[in-house]
Every structure is written in structure tokens, then in C-alpha cells.
Amino acid sequence: MPFTAPVAEQRFVLDHVARVGDLGVDGDVLDAVLEGAGEFAAGSWAPLDRVGDTVGARWTETGVIMPDGFRDAYQAYVAGGWGTIGSPEAYGGQGMPFVLAAAVLETLGAANMGFALLPTLTVGAIEALLHHGSPEQQATYLPKLATGEWSGTMNLTEPQAGSDVGALRTRATPRGDGTFLIEGTKIYISFGDHDLADNIVHLVLARTPDAPPGTRGLSLFLVPKFRLNADGSPGEANDIRVVSIEHKMGLHASPTCVLSFGDNGDCTGELIGPEFGGIRAMFTMMNNARLNVGLQGVQVAEAATQRALAYAAGRVQGARNGADVAIVEHPDVRRMLLRMRAQTMAARALVYLAAAEVDRAAAGDADARARLDLLTPLAKAHGTDLGNEVASLGIQVHGGMGYVEETGAAQHFRDARITPIYEGTNGIQAADLVGRKLALDNGGAFARLIAEMREEAAAAPLRDLIDAVDESGRALLRADSDDRLAASYPFLTMCSVAVCGWLMEREGRIAASGNTPFLRLKAAAARFYVEQIVPEALGLRAAAQAKADVLYQVDAATLAA
Amino acid sequence: MPFTAPVAEQRFVLDHVARVGDLGVDGDVLDAVLEGAGEFAAGSWAPLDRVGDTVGARWTETGVIMPDGFRDAYQAYVAGGWGTIGSPEAYGGQGMPFVLAAAVLETLGAANMGFALLPTLTVGAIEALLHHGSPEQQATYLPKLATGEWSGTMNLTEPQAGSDVGALRTRATPRGDGTFLIEGTKIYISFGDHDLADNIVHLVLARTPDAPPGTRGLSLFLVPKFRLNADGSPGEANDIRVVSIEHKMGLHASPTCVLSFGDNGDCTGELIGPEFGGIRAMFTMMNNARLNVGLQGVQVAEAATQRALAYAAGRVQGARNGADVAIVEHPDVRRMLLRMRAQTMAARALVYLAAAEVDRAAAGDADARARLDLLTPLAKAHGTDLGNEVASLGIQVHGGMGYVEETGAAQHFRDARITPIYEGTNGIQAADLVGRKLALDNGGAFARLIAEMREEAAAAPLRDLIDAVDESGRALLRADSDDRLAASYPFLTMCSVAVCGWLMEREGRIAASGNTPFLRLKAAAARFYVEQIVPEALGLRAAAQAKADVLYQVDAATLAA
């Protein structure tokens, strides 16, 4: 299936949701970037999506090998400057808004989701170094990371430390020369090894000697795959072993590595930021990474929708009003396809809205920073939930053909399923929302969002939903920890749909003034969203206002009775 | 993970939902069957679940080969009489209720879902022969099918004829000796070939010469893999070729075959029932098969839930109230697990309720027949939707471990995804509900169900939901075809949750009078269902009452713009 980047939709959402006009990018430049990225992704990355799944990344004694074609496609990405869009000009980047870089990344990932995880991770490493690296570290590493000549990783998880990051044990021992000896095993390291870039910059959370327990004892280290020569070029290999790669259900183009640091007592790393500044630095790289995982929901939703639309338009089966028709004409298939369209648009609006706040926050807008913090768990969790829903609908539209691997619909479904898990499970996002984000500015960030939505929202069910979110959110601010957490996930979903409904209604209103095919589709999808999806979320009010006692009526042993 | 059949739960639902006491089975016999099936499934079939997935059925030149261990396990199933539970005593069966046979099949499928599809299909062949076969056909085939010595298949789909069965082209030409020459290609034939049984009885929909077009020109044929010798034993091979098996996302233990009949002009079949009686016979086998696919939803939900509970009880991560705890203690994980429990129970209640109506209808109860017809699309579609939801939650509870194949959580998720597709997609079920089933007895069957639910239901949200279902259903009875179909799926879900809520509330009320761990769990799950899941379904009212125009605002080309 030929992939086509949704350029008109991306531009529309950039204009009317992200309001990129305020961010100082010329409209012609926007179009050129979106169209160029679309052409590149469709021509270079999309054709590798299936081999990425069927062959996948392979572990060998000497490192991970990517399938044929990936190296050329990655070099073309580097040469085309697609990695540099959002990086600072001081380090060879183009200095364009984060939200535009996100749109480009969306296009790459819709063409090839597993592959696009590589630049996604590099963005995280760039963020960490930009905010916490020394000038020397920035000068040495950022130009290479900005272009993608070198890639980045995030090394957090250990077997006993998943969602509980504070439990990790990897050790960092000063060597007396300013560097540290790194020793430990990290798991679930996406693109922890590969043969596409000239070096890999591992950012590793570890514990210095006598560090306090828990998260406050963590420090962040830069551990290159190849140590640098005096001229900055990659030299001898560091002491890092790729133990294995995971046998995953999907996302096979992305090698998920177990990395062992310091097997031979000679793994060198350098501290990024202050000692014990690890958790703060981690959140720096993680927050934008969370948005980019929400963006993966958009990617897979877009790809699954395009594939299902193409199939449904070509598959003739059954009759409507007496004539044989393609299945796209049947009401329930049409419902699924319009829902896929609407949910994909909603996810994109939510993620772009948050991504634009990255740019506003970087420009010093404190409200934007708080808004970004509030929206990040919504964008990550709801964006990925929608990616999964849409990918599942994509299988259903294909009928039996969706369950056989040849159509590619199943791959989207398998690929999508990791996104509600990594970068903080969606349950962790919900906990973050009710535990930290609601309380920002004493509830002020949440209240401002509610007020802004209320001012614009017109449809009755949308206004009802906003009221329900407001009422539930204020109750959660006063609730005890168990009650807050018990209601967190339904509240997160309800809150996300309210934001999406607010944005979709706005988009529909603007689209109604035009008459291109895209604008008519947008208006139709917006109406469907407000009339059918918004009321569904109202059904979550009971759960979002329930207490924890319903969950603890029986103890854990009885739950397994 | 050791599988344990949920015997207390099955017995409870048989007693209080299926009301099996009216069906003339002794309680001790019930317990013995449920416990015996549980032990057999846990000891013999569950250990093969993983090899069924990883090795899977393999195509060879000479036929499909099942993984090591399956033949012995199948022979043990035959020898143990597990296939004979529900078959008539006249043909060597035990003549016990269909709903009890369903409970046994549930246990087998929870232990090994792909494997259990084999007896599921045999049940369909038995039904077709019981109702439409000649006395000779019944005497020849039923005793072998009842034990499982021979297995059955259903051959409907062709490449151009999926949901549109009337488009099929396979030809059946009289040979002058009472038999027919069968020629054509069938796809998606589950267990279309394998090496477990001594013969395979293919039931094949085909078209006789000069048959009218569409479904009314179809006839059903019995086409054995091996023709029978004079003594009834399997003899020479019939002219049937296994062209290939599908490369599916899951359910790898079930070979999904492309079968070519009559490549060499020598494939012999015999007519079952009258010429042009094919579609009626197909519905006979399909209706109970649809219940059994709904039951597959229960199977995979039960298996996924047991696996997630075991993982969550053993995985220590994070703290609650200051102490390190297993993740089952965290509110949002607890919410997922209780939801899995509640949804699994709900699916079981719905499917058993319908299955018991099979028994009552067979005993001549006309209301039960209409109730069964009404409930079948709910049981199939909502049962399988819940199987998918629960399997997905099972992955989420496992976190990153859910996405790697070793834990088995991913297998459930992959296995489950076919069930909303085959035996009539869930969209077809929704169309059947609003197009045919609502109108049974001029809406009388639906009205009686509503009245019975209303009489018993107590909780306010449940009563509201029943009102919404009633109001929506009556409106759909008057609606035109497009409007009916546009609202069909949300209506089906809302209606299913109302039935499940009614049953779960009853179960909870009964459970409240006891104090065993199982009864306390049941009461807790019932409360969760009524308080949180029932209100969610109310959120579907808008979609269940919407018109088709929202779907057709833009044409198909614009939808793909």
C-alpha cells in the first residue's frame, strides 16, 4: 500500500491547534518541510516497513544487524537533514519548532514506526544534553546527535526496576580522572545497538558510591558505544555487551536490547549534570519522549487508517440499495472508517497541542510550561490508546484478511501494543495526572484549561463532558491517594476526550467555512467526534468519581480465588 | 503458568444463570464433569498451548502436521469421552445439556484455545447432520463425530465470498449415482486438514447446475477426506488438496486451510438435506458455532485473567502506604484485574444464558428459541469483544513483560483477535440483531427480554440502561435500513451490557448470602460491573440513536482524501 503523508491535515492542525503562526515559521517553509518529509518517508522508509517486521533486527555476536535497506535509508535521512529540524542552530540544527519536528517524526513513523523510534530516542538524548550537559559535552555530542550521525538511547529499566525507577542498581564508580566506571545490566533498551549510525550515545541512570536509596540517589551518565578519539571521532569500543534482544510481539524493526555495562571492568562514562541530578535529567528526556510516544499513537493510527481505507474501497462484497458495492459503502464499515479518521485526527490534535506548548515553554511562557506538564500524560496515554483502538478497527475492516499477516493490518496492531507500556505505562501517566499534574499551581493549570475549553465549546454533550471533568478533577484534588489512583485512568480518558472534543469542534467550525475534500472530511469527522465519541466519555463519569473501596472489597488472594 | 478450571464459577453460572437445575442434570454429575474436564484440560491440553503457538500447525506436501504431543492429547480427549457430553445417546453420546458441553469446551479452550477449535467445529458438523442428514448419513457419521474419532469442518468462504455467502461459486454436479462431483476452492477452513483424527468430514456449501443465484441456490454437501469402505471405515483419499495454510497473527495451533476440491475431477460428495437447503443447514451449524465462538471470548478472557493475576501477585514493584508491594496492590492494577474478572464473568453469563436456551429450544420451548435467536449475536459479538478487551488488559498488567512473547500474555492477545471476525464478523452480528432478531415475533422476543430484565434489575444505572436499550431498540424497529445498520454496533454493545448487568447483579445478590472466597469475589466483581461498566454503556446511547447521515456526510472518495 503506498503511504501518503497527510500534509493538508498536518498543516491544518499546526495552524489551528498548535497555532504555529505564533511560533515564527513561514507558511511556505512549513509546507515545504511537511511535503518534503512526506515524499522522503513514502519513498525511502515506507517500503522497508514490512521487511522491518518480517526480517527484523537480528542479534549477532558482534552486534545487532538491521535488515537490508535500513542503512541506506538512514543515511538518506541524515543526508536530507530530517533529524535537524528541531535542533538548535548552534549545533547545526535548523532551530525550527518542536511541534514541526514532531510532525516530521509523525510522518516518518507512519511510514515505518519501528524505524522512526531511532530518531525519537535521539531527540531524548539531545534534550538531556541541551539542558544538563556541560558546554564541552554539548559541543562534542550535540552536532553529531542533531544530524543523526550518532544516535541516542535511554537506559533506565533493570529487571527489578521497571515503573519503580528508584529500585535500580547499576553502579557508577569514580575513576579519579573525572570519568566513571559503569557496571550493571539494563533491559528494554530500544535501539540499544544497531549498525546504522557511527556511534551510539547511551544515557544511563546509575548510582554512585554511597548514593542515597531511591530516585534521589540516581545520577545520569553518558556512555558512548565507541570512546572518542582526541579529534572527537569514534575510537575503540567501550566495554558494553549486547546480551540479547527481546522476542517481541511487534515493532520488530526496533531492537530491544539487554545491555551489560562493564563486564570487563572497563566501561567508561561521564556524568551529565550534577551528581544525584539523574532523576531530574531523566524527566527532561522523558517528558518530550512521552509526547513522542503519544505521537507514535498518531503514527500507527494514520497508517492503519490509510490501509483500511484502501482495502475497503477495493473490496466488493454484498449489496447496498440493490447494487453490489465496495465495503466502504456499508454503514457499519463506514462507521468504523469514519471513527478511525476521527480518532486519528483527535490524537493528532492532542499531541500537537502539547508539542506546541514545548515551544512556548521554551520561549519562557510559564503558563505554557504548566499546560505542557498537564497535557503530557494525556497525550502519551490517550494518544497511544487511540493508536491501539484504530489499529484494531483496521483489522476489523479487513475481515479475515486482517488476521493474516500479508495485508499489514496485523502488523500495525502488533506494533501499536507496546506504546501504552513504554515510557511510563499509561497507568503511570494516569497516576502522574492525578498525583502531580492536577495539583500544579494549586490546581490553577487545570482550572485554566477548563476555563479555556468552556469559553469555546458549544455542543451540549461537550459542555456536559467538560463539566464532568471539572467536577471530577476538583474532587480528585481533595481525595486521598488510593481514591485518586483508583479513579485515575477513567479520569484521564474523560479528560483527554474533553480536550480532543474541544479541539475537534474548533477544527470542524473552521473547516465548515471551506469546501475542499479535506475540509469536508474534517467537518464530517469533527461532527462524528462531538456527537458520538464525546458522549461515550460521559459514560466514564461514574468510574472517575468512584472510590477505591470497590477495588479492595476482596484481598489479593481472594481476587485470584 | 498452571491453568485451573474455574469450576466454582462455572457451577454457579450454570445454576443461577443457565438454571441447569431445570434441565434434568444431577448436581453431582455436573460437578464431576466440570472437575474432570478441568483436570484433563490442565493436565493434557494446557501444557501444549505454547508449542501450539511457537511451532504451530505445519503444511507439508502430504497434509498438515500438528506439533508433537497434540495427537496423544487428542486421543486422550477421545478416549475420555470429552467430545460426547452433549451428543445424543442414540449416537453414542451422553445426551447432556448443550450448556454443559459448552462449559467443558470453555475449559478445553481456556487451556488451549487453538486446539479447542477442533472439537468446536465438530460440534457444528454434528448439528448439521442431526437436523438435516438422512438416517443413513446420521448412522454412518454421527457416532464417529460424537466421539471425535472423526472431526468436522465448515466450508463456506471463497475468495470472492466472505460475508456475502451468496456469491460463492463452488460447483456440485450430479454423477448419476446419487453422489456429486465437487469442484471449487474454499478458504479460511479451520482445521481443514490435520493428523489428529482418522477422518475429516467436510461440510461444503456449493451450487448445483442451474441453481439460482445468491444464497437460495446453495446446497450443503458432505465431503469426507477419506471415502468410506463398505464397512464404514475410512478408505481411499478423496480428491481434496490442501493448497496452503494461512500465516496468521495468532491461533497458530489451528491450521487455517485453503482447500481445493476436485483438482483431478474426482472429488465425491453427498447432499445433506434437500437441494437448495444449504443456507438453512448452514445457519443450523453456524448458530451454535456462533455461541461457541462467543465462548472462545470467555476462554481467552479466563486464561488471560489467570495469567495476569499470577504475574501481578508475584511482581514486587513500588510501594503502597509505605511498604513495598506486589503490583496487585496498586489501585490501577487492581482496577484492571477486577475489571478482567468482572468482564470474564459477564461474558460467561451471557454465553451460558444463550447456551441454555439451546437446550430449552430443543425441548420445544418456542419462547426459548426466539430468546436464543435474539441472544446469539450478543453472545458472539460481545463475548468476543470482551475476550479481546481482557486479553489486552492482561498485557497491560504485565507491563513490558506483556510485550515479549515468553510470558504468554501476548499469545492470548494475538489468539483473541480472530474471534470478532470469523463465524460472521461482529458487524454482521450487529446487522443480524437489528435486521432480523429485533423483529422476531413483531418485536415480542425483544420486549419479553426487556420486561424480564426490568422486573429483576434494581440498581439505578442498570435500570437506566435497560430503558435506553428499550427506547433505542423500539426506534430501530421503525428505522430504515441504513439508519438501523448505522446504529447497530453501539446498540448491540449497549444491549449486551444490559443483559450482562442484569445477570451480574443477580449473581451478586445471590453471592452476598454466602461467604466463601469465591462468593466474596463474585459479589465484588458484580458490584464493580454494575457501578462502573454499566454506566459506560450508557455513553453509547447517542450512537445507538444516531442516524446514518452522519456517516454519509462525505462520499467514499472524500473519506480517503
pLDDT band at B407 (very low <50, low <70, confident <90, very high): very high
Name chain B contacts of A384, Cβ cutoff 8 Å: none
Question: Taking residues B429-434, what's their average pLDDT?
Answer: 98
Tens digits of residue pLDDT in A173-230: 999 999 999 999 999 999 999 999 999 999 999 999 999 999 999 999 999 999 999 9
Closest Cα in chain A, distance from residue B486 (Å):
5
Name chain B contacts of A553, Cβ cutoff 8 Å: 520, 523-524, 527
pLDDT band at A549 (very low <50, low <70, confident <90, very high): very high
Could you give the 3-state DSSP secondary structure of residue A153?
strand
Which of the residues A106, A329, A389, A423 is marked catalytic?
Answer: A423
Residue B361: per-residue pLDDT = 96
Domain extent at residue B385: 290-550
pLDDT band at A285 (very low <50, low <70, confident <90, very high): confident
Pick the residue from chain A with its C-alpha nearest to B418: A403
B388–A392 C-beta distance less than 8 A = yes
pLDDT band at A370 (very low <50, low <70, confident <90, very high): very high
| pLDDT over 80 (residue A474) | yes
Tally C-beta pairs within 8 A across A and B. Answer: 267
A518–B535 C-beta distance less than 8 A = no
Tens digits of residue pLDDT in B501-516: 999 999 999 999 999 9
Q: Tell me which of B10, B335, B422 to substitute to probe the interface with A (most A C-beta atoms closer than 10 Å).
A: B335
B531–A542 C-beta distance less than 8 A = yes
Tens digits of residue pLDDT in A307-340: 999 999 999 999 998 899 999 999 999 999 999 9
Residue B233, classified by CB atoms within 10 Å of its CB into exposed (0-12), middle (13-18) or buried (19+), is: exposed
Number of compact structural domains in chain B: 1
Name chain A contacts of B539, Cβ cutoff 8 Å: 535-540
**Mean pLDDT in chain A?**
97
A270 catalytic residue (yes or no): no
| Residues ≥6 apart with Cβ < 8 Å to A283 | none
A427–B520 C-beta distance less than 8 A = no
Name chain B contacts of A521, Cβ cutoff 8 Å: 554, 558-559, 561
Pick the residue from chain A with its C-alpha nearest to B556: A328
Query: Is A394 within a domain?
Result: no
| pLDDT over 90 (residue B286) | no
| Separation CA A162–CA B70 (nearest Å) | 38
pLDDT band at B250 (very low <50, low <70, confident <90, very high): very high
Query: Is B459 within a domain?
Result: yes
Is A384:A293 a contact under the CB 8 Å cutoff?
A: yes
Query: Is A480 within a domain?
Result: yes
Q: Among partner residues B420, B542, B552, which is closest to A531 by beta-carbon distance? A: B542
Tens digits of residue pLDDT in A42-98: 999 999 999 999 999 999 999 999 999 999 999 999 999 999 999 999 999 999 999
Question: Taking residues B433-442, what's their average pLDDT?
Answer: 97
Could you give the 3-state DSSP secondary structure of residue A29?
helix
Closest Cα in chain B, distance from residue A373 (Å):
21
Is A481:A551 a contact under the CB 8 Å cutoff?
A: no
| Separation CA A123–CA A120 (nearest Å) | 5
Closest Cα in chain A, distance from residue B438 (Å):
17
Residue B71: per-residue pLDDT = 98
| pLDDT over 80 (residue A546) | yes
A248–B405 C-beta distance less than 8 A = yes
Query: Is A485 within a domain?
Result: yes
| pLDDT over 80 (residue A1) | no
Considering only A83-87, B182-186, B527-531, which range has the smallest mean pLDDT?
A83-87
Pick the residue from chain A with its C-alpha nearest to B404: A248
Pick the residue from chain B with its C-alpha nearest to A431: B332
Tens digits of residue pLDDT in B298-320: 999 999 999 999 999 999 999 99
**Residues A531-546 as b or e (16 or more Cβ within 10 Å = b):** bbbbbbbbbbbbbbbb
pLDDT band at A106 (very low <50, low <70, confident <90, very high): very high
Mark residue B173 as left, alpha or beta (left: phi above 0; alpha: psi -120 to 50; beta: remaining).
beta
Query: Is A263 within a domain?
Result: no
| pLDDT over 80 (residue B445) | yes
Tens digits of residue pLDDT in A386-424: 999 999 999 999 999 999 999 999 999 999 999 999 999
Name chain B contacts of A427, Cβ cutoff 8 Å: 330, 332-333, 336, 396
Query: Is B510 within a domain?
Result: yes
Query: Is B318 within a domain?
Result: yes
B421–A524 C-beta distance less than 8 A = no
Could you give the 3-state DSSP secondary structure of residue A212?
coil
Query: Is B144 within a domain?
Result: no
Name chain B contacts of A424, Cβ cutoff 8 Å: none
Residue B284: per-residue pLDDT = 85
- Of B396, B497, B488, B478, give the one whose Cα is nearest residue B439: B478
